[in-house]
Amino acid sequence: MHSVELEQWRETFKVTNDGKIKLIESRFKAWGAGVPENEGKVFYKEKNWFVMKEFNNRSVEHLTVSVSCYANHRIIYNSNMYTMCNWVKDNTSVVLKRENISLINYLYYLISREVFLWRK
């Protein structure tokens, strides 16, 4: 959610072959403070959304998100939606990055996640 306009904002990212996070698309419902005017090469309106695509130099090593429960920050990955406030407290900064882990660490993560959800 845009902090001033209080309208939804959606961004689509892709992890590139070199492990960077690339901005693919931005969608927003209202034009307001902080909206870049000429970032994307392609700009159009689709239904109730303004859409920007084809960004120059929009790849980063990591992405920092200040999680807001009011804005209801969510991550959608492989068609699954994850509400970030279910994982961290309101106003927590979270760093998203690609990381290679061993199979044993991944299994530990999966089991830990299930135990955490079960305890909730």
Mean predicted confidence (pLDDT) in 20-40 = 78
Q: Binning pLDDT at 50, 70 and 90, where does residue 103 land? A: very high
Mean predicted confidence (pLDDT) in 12-27 = 89
53-84 pLDDT per residue, tens: 888 777 889 989 999 888 888 998 888 899 99
CA–CA dist 47, 29 (Å, integer):
10
pTM greater than 0.85: no
Q: Kindly list the domain boundaries of the chain, sorted by start residue.
A: 9-119
Q: Calculate the dihedral angle through the C-alpha atoms of 30, 80, 60, 1, rounding to the nearest 10 degrees.
A: 20
Contact 17, 59 (CB under 8 A): no
More confident: 32 or 14? 14
Say if residue 90's pLDDT is above 90: yes
Q: Binning pLDDT at 50, 70 and 90, where does residue 36 land? A: low
